[in-house]
Amino acid sequence: MAKQPIQTPKAPAAIGTYSQAVRAGTTVYLSGQIPLDPATMQLVGSDPRAQITQVLENLAAVAAAAGGSLDDIVKLTVYLTDLAHFPLVDEIMAKYFKEPYPARAAIGVAALPRNSQVEIDAVLVLGQK
């Protein structure tokens, strides 16, 4: 099966040797997004609410570039440098996702790229409707 890289200027450019996402058949694997503003490639600030929101906006942009939307996401993995921010993840996710919600895992980590407080990666399946 051929794999197709997904790229959009509406999400931060890759800052390493990876693609924003890769499509294999109807499945799209979205790389972890951190709260970078795609225009400036800088963190959106230190407020965890703003960071979580920007990460979801970035994921939405990559999902759209792949021909889908957040509604097509079946699995999320959330990485937090402080698990005390997990209730914020739930609160903000409720604005971006509707039932049935994607499967999800949350992992506490010591550090993330660019000193961000949150990173989220996802798996999206196209053509579910």
Residue 20 is part of a domain; what is its CATH number? 3.30.1330.40
Q: Is the pLDDT of residue 1 over 80?
A: no
Residue span of the structural domain in which 37 resides: 3-125
Mean pLDDT score of the chain: 96
C-alpha 110/C-alpha 65 separation (Å) is: 31
C-alpha 99/C-alpha 91 separation (Å) is: 14
Q: Rounded to two decimals, what is the model's pTM?
A: 0.95
What mean pLDDT comes out for the span 2-11? 95
Q: Is the pLDDT of residue 129 over 80?
A: no
Nearest to 78 by CA among 96, 99, 100: 96
Q: How many domains does the chain have?
A: 1
Find the DSSP H helices in 1-129: 48-65, 86-96
